Structures are given as C-alpha cells and as structure tokens.
Chain A
C-alpha cells in the first residue's frame, strides 16, 4: 500500500473520504501535488474545500482513505504534519486578549522557534501593521487579524502552506503583496495549497487547479492547459459545476 505514495509529491491522497453522519463532505478524493506547485482547490460554498484542508493537516480524521503530507501519514502523525506545515485557517481568529505581537510570540513559543523577535518584526513590516502590534486581537480589524493569521503560518519557514481564503478582508495593496509573496515562495521551492472560491485569484496565481463539487474532485489540470485552450476559469468553472 505504501508503495503507491511517491516521494516526489508533497501531498498525496488515495480515496480520501470524510462523512459527517449522512453527509459525505469529501468523497473518494485522490490527488497528488508536487513540490513547487501553487495548487488551487476551487469550488462553490460548502463543496468540501475546508474539510479537505482539515483532513490534510490532521485536524480531522478521514472516514476512509489515506493521505500523506511531506511523506508523513496524516492519520498516524497529525502533530508531526502540523509541525512541518503552515496553515492559514478560514475562520479562526487569534485569542482575544493577546496583542498581535504577543500572539505571534505565542505561536513562535509553541513552535519552539529561535530569533522570535526578528521573525515577528519581519512580518509586521512586510504586512504593514507595525502600528497595531500592541493592540488586543479582539480590537483589531478583520483585515489585520487576517494579516496576523498569514504571518503565523509562515513564521517557521515551512516548506508547505495551506491557505484557506487568505485574501478576504485585505486591501488591494496588501492583496497584491501577498499574491507576489506566494508566487515567490513557490518559485523558491515552497508549495502552496490554496482554497478559494474567488476564481480571479486562482486564475492569477495558481499553477494548477482542482475543482471540488459536492465533495468530489470533478476536474484537475494546469492553468497553462486552460490558457492554451483559451478558456476563462470562471466560464469553465460555472459550466463544470452547473453540469
């Protein structure tokens, strides 16, 4: 069974399924993602994108099927997976009563990182929220909280980052900065697994996309291929989902 997982892939799943009672949120998904890809998982609301991220990062246990991330079995070693990767969750907010600075230091402390001050300052500068670092997380704007969640995911220089709707609530300047950072990150050998339903973002930055609908992957292919076929992602997506 292990032989079907190949080392060149940073993410590989076989028949991954997650059921919540009668609802099958993820249905026999088998995907393989190589190092250096910016893979976009796109799909309508409630299609199973967030569940996929939670399964791949060991936050949820699959009902059936298997998954390996960076060569680690997500069911057997979920903590190991989360030590290695970075995750920008869709909804979670940082603890209300820590300041932005304290929260980043908290994450760094949990991850037992060195040069905490330096690592955090880099992100405060890059995402332009140095002025707000001593404000309680509960009093931060949604956009600033989102910046904080992005910063915590990249703090330990992970080789693979899962990002779930990362650009919502951010202003266009920061959006551009982050998109450029993502592109640079994969160019240098990192891998990003991006979940979004904002198709323009996927079209702009992803190297490959998968379309998930009702828990099933209904399309997987490279953006180059789509462009070659002169297909706009939005038209293609709507046609696929509407059947």
Chain B
C-alpha cells in the first residue's frame, strides 16, 4: 500500500519535472510562499476594499475550486498524459497488470493528490501568510487554523469532484439531473429560506468558531462522497473496438472559413471522443464559471461600489483561456513534427479553436445582461471580456507554448505570468470602480496582446522539444 503511494508521488513529481528539471521545479513552493507572504504584507492597504471576513470566504472557496480542478484533471486525464508524454502508463491505470484492486489504486490516487498538492501548494501558501502575521501584529494561530480549514476545503473539492466524475462515468443524464437538483435546492435555501448558503461550506464556520460540530461536518463532506465514489467506481477496459463514421471531413468543411479547419476539427473530435467527453468542458469551464458567478454575486454584495456584472465579464475572459489549456493537453507536437507543420501553426489553430468554444462565454454574457438588466453596460462588459481573454491568452501562448499545464509550474515562468497578468487585472478592476464606462479603454490591451502572440510564435518556432 505504502509502496504504491510512494510510486504515485514519484510519478507525479517526474511528470512535472520532465521539462525543466528537478531543481527548477523544486523552487515552485518557494515562489508560492514568497507570493503569499508579499500579498499578506500588502493586504492592509486593500483591507477596506476586501474586508477580512470576505477574504476568508474567498480563500476557502478558492481552495474548494483548486481541489476540484486537481481531481478533475487527475481522473479524466489519462489520455492527456499519453498525448503529452507519448504513450505513458501511469500506476493509477495499472489495476489490470498489478495484483491490486481498482478501489485501492484510486484511494491511493486520492491520497497522493492530497500529499503532493499539500506540500506543493497548500503548505507554502499558508506558510507565506503565517510568516507575515507576526509582522502585521496579528495572531499566528490564524495560520494553523487556516492550514486546517483550507486543507479541508481542498479535500472537500477533491472528494466532490471524484463523486461527480464517478456519476458522470455511469450516466451523463444523471449528472445533469444531480447538478440541476443541487442548484434548485441551493437557490431555494437562499431565496425562500433566506439562508446564507456561503456558509454551507463547513470549513468557513469552522474557521470562525473552532467547533467539533463544524469539524465533523467537514470530515463527513469528505468521507461520504469519497466512499460513495469508491463503491461505484467503474474503470472501463473496453474489449470491443468502437467504430466511427468519418466526421472529420464534414466538420472541416463547416470550419472552412479558417485555414486551420483540419486541426480544429481534430481537436473537437478529440474533445468529444476522449475520456470525460463533454464533461471536461463542464468540469473545467462551465462549473467554475457558475461557481464564480455565485461567489461574485455574494461577495460583492458587501462592496457597494463594485459591479458584479462587469467583474464577471472580466472573469469570463480569464477562465476562457482554460479552453486553450484543454485543447493543448490533447496534443504533442512530436505527432506533427514529421508533417509540414510549424509549432506556431498548431498554436494558432488552438487559439482559433479556443475562441470558437468561447462563444459560449459570449452567450453567457448575453444571458446575464438580460437577466440582470445591464443592457447599458453590455458594450464595456463585452470589450473587457474580449480584451482580457486575448491578453491572458497571449501571455499563455508566449510563456507556455503548447504546454500551459507544465510550464506554469516553472517558477520563473509562473512569476513572469503573475507579474504580467495581475497588475493588468487589478487595473481593470480599479477602472471599473472609477466608472463602468472606463472599461471602454480595455481594448488598449488588444495591440499588446497581438504583439505578444507574434513574439510567442517566433519564439516557439525556434524551440527544440527536449523529448527529442
């Protein structure tokens, strides 16, 4: 049991350190620590804008989403690994060749995620806050409490997504029914019973008042989904080879308006037929978007000068880039290296593909405009969403090539990414506070984004993949 866990942790480390070496990757937790330390030191300046109580809520939900994204990637990502590193075989998928049950392997898989991400992210994150607390004359016990409650939030996210993934594997219809039912229940609790549903995440009341009741509730919320998930776990090893009619040509014809029609068609087919199918979009795109709307609308209720609608447009732009990440996860340039294809050609095709899928964001924005009666703010919101999307995408392209999920773990890359993205996002947030119409200035980002993208294409076309 312990050997299996050790192997999985080693495997995870090697996956991440493959492209930029052990030493560089080892610095990643230090970067996290320094970043949260600095953010904590500067927090008093912003404390009027974001009061501590709201910040605590925000942090716990961020860790909940983080747990969900780690879980979704791990459980749906076997094919991702194959495309990223060639034909790989992870220990997690070896239940057929090892004398160990699937349930035991996946339990180890969850434990591995907890241990690995605890040391890589959670611990350095909280240590950074903990080091700043005495300098801010605050009680250092807060750090210990955060260590407990944020770790539990991460675990709740991990176990919930594990359960949702298992439901999805059994029945997509049931998952949709389950999600709709949950939404109805939460809305009813919030609107009809006037319950503050933010506090349904038990780690928040646990942080505010350390009680056995809240702790038990948190642990139950981890254990119940995990146990149900493990009991209904189904790992398919289909013996039958599925046959498909050629859908590439018709799709490429429909996408004939772009010169990358064959690449984009292949990507869309990959997304549809690979593990998780459309579930990947639900888990990594639509689900966080719904959660962020929920958080923004609750969180900024207390900040009267902020406009949740415009802030959400900004987040739509940021989250939209995750589609580029997904599209790149399914490709390895070495699969194209023997064809007359440049790395930049592949990158451009992913950019066009991600932009097409992001029409969903536009529909969401239109829907929200109608639902919130913000027609007068639609143009600034649209420009803000589009400019932010393009800018963050250009940074991703320039800094991470076709490997965002790997290169962002390079401390140097991560720092540059933060240094170039955070100030721009903060400026946009401040601009909207000054006046919503100030966001009409956001297209200033477009020429910069195009310039950065072009530089990115030139840069990566000269790059030689280390796996050669």
Contacts and interface: CB of A to CB of B under 8 A. Distances in A.
Nearest to B468: A60
Given A60-B464, A61-B464, A96 B243 contact: no
A79 B345 CA distance: 11
Contacts of A136: 241-242, 244, 273
B241, B247, B272, most chain A CB atoms within 10 A: B241
B31 to A, nearest CB: 26
Interface string A166-206: 00000000000000000000000000000000000000000
Interface stretch (B15-23, B82-90, B107-115, B319-327): B82-90
A59 B266 contact: no
A83, A98, A102, A106, most chain B CB atoms within 10 A: A102
B274 interface: yes
Interface stretch (A4-12, A86-94, A217-225): A86-94
A136 B243 CA distance: 7
A107 interface: yes
B341 A110 contact: yes
Interface in A73-112: 79-80, 82-83, 87, 89, 91-99, 101-102, 105-107, 109-111
B241 A139 contact: yes
B39 interface: no
B313 to A, nearest CB: 34
Interface residues of A, number: 34
Nearest to B242: A136
A83 B82 CA distance: 27
Contacts of A92: 334-335, 337-338
Given A105-B246, A139-B242, A110 B468 contact: no
Given A97-B270, A97-B274, A106-B266, A59 B335 contact: no
Interface in B385-415: none
Contacts of A80: 340
Contacts of A60: 464, 468
A13 interface: no
A89 B338 contact: yes
A57, A94, A99, most chain B CB atoms within 10 A: A99
B281 interface: no
A99 B243 CA distance: 8
B348 interface: no
Given A102-B269, A135-B242, A107 B83 contact: no
Contact of A99 (B246, B274, B334): B246
A79 B468 contact: no
A59 B337 contact: yes
A234 interface: no
B212 interface: no
Interface residues of B, number: 36
A134 interface: yes
A91 to B, nearest CB: 7
B153 interface: no
Contacts of B273: 97, 136
Nearest to A116: B249
A105 B270 contact: no
Interface in B240-282: 241-249, 252, 261-263, 266, 269-270, 272-274
Contacts of B337: 54, 59, 89, 92
Nearest to A86: B338
Given A95-B270, A135-B241, A102 B246 contact: yes
A93, A96, A97, A106, most chain B CB atoms within 10 A: A97
B250 to A, nearest CB: 11
Contacts of A93: 87, 335
Contacts of B338: 57, 59, 82, 87, 89, 92, 153
Interface in B306-342: 330-331, 334-335, 337-342
A150 to B, nearest CB: 12
Contacts of A87: 338-339
Contacts of B87: 93
Interface of B: 79, 82-83, 86-87, 241-249, 252, 261-263, 266, 269-270, 272-274, 330-331, 334-335, 337-342, 464, 468
21 contacts: A79-B342, A82-B338, A82-B341, A87-B338, A91-B86, A92-B334, A93-B87, A96-B82, A96-B274, A97-B273, A98-B266, A102-B247, A105-B246, A105-B248, A105-B249, A110-B263, A116-B249, A134-B244, A135-B241, A135-B242, A136-B273
